[in-house]
């Protein structure tokens, strides 16, 4: 059994896999990492291996604690991955993106795959049917766009995410919703269209915290999978330990 620890910008996701089957998934606050890991260790005594993927600020003491109990891989640019990396600055490539591409290799082998992760940022990652990772794009996520309008202007309010009633906003609030949500949807649709024209038989995966909200509103054919990153981390761990 494997323990997967995904440290994001605002929280930590913990998952337990038995081979490829997801047994447990939970979200915790960063300060509760050691306690949560200890609880999992007590409940699942067959866990031997663990992987940490961190785009946030996991303390060294937390990493050291995990190392005491499991054979640990801390995912970074030097970790062996199941694809050929053509990224020109691999040391700057986010570990979350490494995991997403790895998941696509496992689940959609020898296919042209575009992975869209809609979270704090919206990332686009493309891997070719020849198993070559070519890169992608990074843009602000939905909440970042709402926060930016509020933080960088004098009079625009901070609103909760909402699908606009119409693409023509008839109030300041509706105009903000229309600009942000329709802007994101048009960005994603436009990006998919560009890749689809260049690469035949394109498979599109949508994941991340806003995947459910967006998937219902996209016209393009996509596969939505909220566990895609965790599955990719588990595959990297298996790839390095078997």
Element (H, E) at 138: strand 132-140
6, 62, 96, 117: the catalytic one is 96
* Cβ neighbours of 240 (radius 10 Å): 16
Q: Which of 42, 58, 41 is nearest to 50 (CA)?
A: 41
Give the C-alpha separation, 97 to 159, whole Å.
29
Contact 231, 19 (CB under 8 A): no
Instruction: Clarify whether 96 is annotated catalytic.
Output: yes
Q: Enter the tokens of residue 188.
A: 């994603």
Q: Enter the tokens of residue 71.
A: 């054979």
Give 98's contacts (C-beta < 8 A, 6+ positions apart): 53, 75, 79, 81, 232, 236
Helix, strand or coil, per DSSP, at residue 166: coil
* Cβ neighbours of 151 (radius 10 Å): 10
Contact 126, 111 (CB under 8 A): no
Q: Enter the tokens of residue 9.
A: 């910008």
Q: Enter the tokens of residue 118.
A: 């809609």
Q: Enter the tokens of residue 101.
A: 């591409």
> Which residues are designated catalytic?
96
């Amino acid at each position: 059994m494997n323990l997967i620890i995904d440290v994001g910008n605002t929280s930590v996701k913990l998952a337990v896999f038995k081979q490829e089957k997801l047994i447990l998934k939970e979200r915790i606050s960063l300060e509760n990492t050691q306690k949560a890991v200890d609880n999992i260790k007590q409940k699942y005594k067959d866990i031997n291996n663990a992987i940490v993927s961190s785009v946030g600020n996991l303390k060294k003491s937390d990493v050291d604690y995990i190392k005491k109990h499991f054979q640990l891989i801390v995912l970074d640019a030097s970790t062996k991955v199941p694809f050929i990396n053509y990224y020109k600055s691999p040391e700057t490539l986010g570990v979350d993106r490494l995991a997403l591409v790895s998941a696509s290799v496992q689940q959609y082998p020898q296919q042209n795959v575009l992975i869209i992760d809609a979270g704090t940022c919206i990332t686009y990652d493309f891997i070719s049917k020849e198993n070559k990772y070519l890169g992608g794009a990074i843009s602000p996520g939905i909440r970042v766009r709402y926060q930016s309008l509020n933080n960088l202007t004098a009079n625009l309010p901070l609103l909760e995410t909402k699908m606009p009633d119409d693409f023509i906003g008839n109030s300041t609030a509706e105009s903000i919703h229309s600009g942000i949500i329709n802007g994101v949807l048009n960005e994603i649709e436009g990006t998919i269209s560009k890749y689809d024209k260049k690469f035949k038989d394109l498979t599109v995966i949508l994941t991340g915290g806003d995947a459910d909200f967006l998937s219902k509103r996209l016209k393009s054919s996509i596969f939505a999978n909220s566990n895609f990153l965790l599955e990719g981390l588990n595959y990297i761990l298996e790839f390095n330990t078997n």
